[in-house]
Amino acid sequence: MNQILNTNLEKNTKNLKKKDWFRFQFSVSLSIISILIICGIFYWYHLSKEENFSDNLIASYEIYRLYNNPENTTNIEETNGLFGIIEIPKINLYYPVFSSFSEELLKTSPCKFFGSTLKSNGNICIAGHNYDNSLFFSKIGTLLPNDEISIFDNNGKKYLYTVYDIYEVKDTDLSPIFNYPKNEKILTLVTCNNFNSNRIIVRAKQRSS
């Protein structure tokens, strides 16, 4: 009789331990899921905030151009801190481009980090974040040769570029900046490949006006 009671007691104890273990696992899993959801919400809120800031920047930029006569402005680029607007219709990309580069500016919109003017021969390099969605330069890796890229300067003039090369380099490789046809007007877009830490490079050539 005692043996039966002891056996039942052991079974009940094991069952209780199993239930406690399952409760513990469930609580831990629930906590982890909650943390991930909160982090996800915060992340997307942050991206949305930066995107809204970029949209407001475009609106302010357009108002600035509307109410300032470019002929009476010696250097609009230095005045408003913007290089111009980049537009790539194929991937629904339209952003202001800062005329200087910093990590903080890069969180808001693409930045020019090398090159002179759109009218000069040389290589204009523009960097943008890759958030693996539709924001900033996330989709430039899907571009193909002969796709079009437009850059609008601060006077509203449009410069049209045609993509001729898309490739990747190591993050330490500076050749996309310094190796280019010296007698051409080249545009180089740069973003990160978040899967292998490489840099995605899109090369385009300015069409003759």
Residue 168 has pLDDT above 90, yes or no: yes
Reduce the secondary structure of 100-130 to three states and give it as a string. CCCHHHHCCCCEEEECCCCCCCEEEEEECCE
CATH number at residue 149: 2.40.260.10
Query: Has residue 16 been placed in a domain?
Result: no
Query: Has residue 59 been placed in a domain?
Result: no
- pLDDT digit string, tens, across residues 46-85: 545 455 555 555 554 454 444 444 444 444 444 458 899 9
Alpha carbons 85 and 155: distance in angstroms, whole number: 11
Mean pLDDT of 172-191: 94
> Model's pTM, two decimal places?
0.67
User: Domains in the chain: how many in total?
Assistant: 1
Residue 138 is part of which domain span?
75-206
Query: Has residue 4 been placed in a domain?
Result: no
